[in-house]
């Protein structure tokens, strides 16, 4: 006999009490402080679901420091947590197993959910009404490759995403990811598993997409963690070839500027006039703040970051 219980998210006091209870028998003060700082750190506070979910808090304390997204382990972090939520945390409950309505098992569900995450991430969609959700769902290719595709309906898929896999939730008339990091992780996994041509085609669509359209670089960092070689060969090198390959010496720099930035602003300072006025008024000139010109595309931004420019 198992009963389903639904928990409201913990507030910070409840989360702290849970952490303290778990660490009560830990005599090593350094470990206690590290785990507390880890839970209360910037990353998990930004991704609130992890700091407010008692199951995930328990999981983090048990696994620390194996999963720490702040130390370049975002792929491992989300892979470990996804497996724990969707596949692992019921394994020890004998006599109880979650039943997927839309698929035969968690692996089949993940196959379709991974494609859904990839399609929605690249369109910058993190919440959906039913019509928008159905629009993405109807275009999914993987749902037709399952052992029993007839049960993979939109209604069943929503039920599994929200209630069985616990990857999404309903709020009023909206469907939302419990944390966009899972969407980013599964986007990265989808394109890691895809043919290089498919990843290269994706890269070409990003040549004109500004980085401001994405909430950071996490998805692309995780894709790079999956395979740095595939990431460079399919995403970065075609972009660089487009700018430089086959061009004479004076052309590539202009091409680099044209592809790299949408516009330029510059300031002209008449230093002689500045000196004259400064002397006449016994004043000190305060230079104006430099203008920051943002890169025009997410690919160009990634290149600059990798080159530490």
* pLDDT tens by residue, 42-54: 666 666 777 788 8
Per the DSSP assignment, residues forming a β-bridge with 175 are 128, 170
pLDDT by 10s per residue, the chain, length 309: 677 777 788 888 888 888 888 877 776 677 777 777 776 766 666 667 777 888 777 777 777 665 555 556 788 888 988 988 887 655 655 555 678 999 999 999 999 999 999 999 999 999 999 999 999 999 999 999 999 999 999 999 999 999 888 899 898 889 999 888 899 999 999 999 999 999 999 999 999 888 888 888 889 999 999 999 999 999 999 999 988 888 877 788 888 888 888 888 888 889 999 999 989 998 888 888 877 888 889 999 999 888 888
pLDDT for the residue 47: 66
Per the DSSP assignment, residues forming a β-bridge with 168 are 177
Give the CB-side neighbour count of residue 279, counting CA atoms within 13 A: 6
Rounded-to-integer distance, Cα 277 and Cα 258, Å: 38
pLDDT for the residue 239: 92
The answer to whether the beta carbons of residues 225 and 75 sit under 8 Å apart is yes
N-terminal to C-terminal alpha carbon distance within the chain: 60
pLDDT for the residue 67: 58
Q: Is 217 left (phi over 0), alpha (psi -120 to 50) or beta?
A: alpha
Alpha helices per DSSP H over 147-195: 154-159, 180-193
Angle at CA of residue 204, ends 201 and 206, nearest 5° = 120
pLDDT for the residue 90: 58
pLDDT for the residue 109: 96
Rounded-to-integer distance, Cα 130 and Cα 132, Å: 6
Q: Tell me whether the omega of the peptide bond preceding residue 275 falls within 30 degrees of 0, making it cis.
A: no
User: Which residue do the tokens 């025009």 mark?
Assistant: 296
Cα 210 to chain center, whole Å? 16
pLDDT for the residue 213: 85
Pairing of strands 174-177, 127-128: antiparallel
The DSSP result for 234-247, as a single string, is IIIHHHHHHHHTT-
Q: Can you read off the two tokens belonging to residue 247?
A: 């061009």
pLDDT for the residue 177: 93
Per the DSSP assignment, residues forming a β-bridge with 176 are 127, 169
Q: Can you read off the two tokens belonging to residue 119?
A: 């399609």
User: Which residue do the tokens 């086959």 mark?
Assistant: 246
* pLDDT tens by residue, 117-133: 999 999 999 999 999 99
Q: Can you read off the two tokens belonging to residue 90?
A: 């019921």
pLDDT for the residue 66: 58
């Amino acid at each position: 006999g198992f009963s389903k219980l639904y928990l409201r998210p913990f507030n910070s006091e409840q989360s702290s009490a849970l952490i303290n209870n778990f660490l009560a028998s830990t005599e090593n003060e350094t470990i206690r402080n590290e785990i507390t700082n880890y839970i209360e750190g910037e990353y998990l506070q930004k991704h609130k679901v992890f700091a407010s979910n008692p199951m995930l808090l328990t999981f983090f304390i048990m696994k620390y420091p194996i999963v720490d997204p702040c130390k370049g382990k975002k792929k491992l972090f989300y892979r470990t947590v996804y497996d724990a939520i969707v596949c692992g945390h019921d394994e020890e409950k004998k006599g109880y197993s979650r039943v997927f309505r839309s698929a035969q098992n968690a692996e089949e569900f993940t196959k379709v959910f991974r494609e859904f995450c990839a399609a929605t991430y690249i369109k910058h969609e993190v919440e959906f009404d039913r019509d928008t959700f159905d629009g993405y769902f109807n275009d999914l290719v993987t749902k037709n490759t399952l052992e029993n595709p007839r049960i993979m309906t939109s209604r069943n898929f929503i039920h599994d995403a929200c209630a069985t896999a616990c990857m999404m939730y309903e709020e009023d008339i909206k469907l939302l990811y419990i944390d966009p990091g899972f969407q980013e992780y599964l986007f990265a996994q989808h394109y890691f598993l895809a043919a290089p041509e498919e990843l290269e085609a994706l890269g070409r669509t990003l040549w004109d997409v500004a980085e401001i359209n994405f909430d950071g670089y996490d998805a692309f960092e995780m894709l790079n963690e999956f395979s740095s070689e595939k990431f460079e060969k399919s995403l970065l090198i075609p972009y660089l070839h487009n700018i430089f390959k086959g061009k004479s010496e004076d052309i590539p720099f202009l091409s680099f500027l044209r592809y790299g930035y949408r516009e330029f602003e510059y300031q002209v300072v008449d230093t002689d006039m500045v000196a004259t006025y400064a002397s006449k008024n016994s004043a000190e000139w305060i230079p104006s703040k430099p203008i920051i010109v943002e890169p025009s595309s997410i690919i160009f931004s990634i290149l600059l970051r990798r080159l530490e420019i």
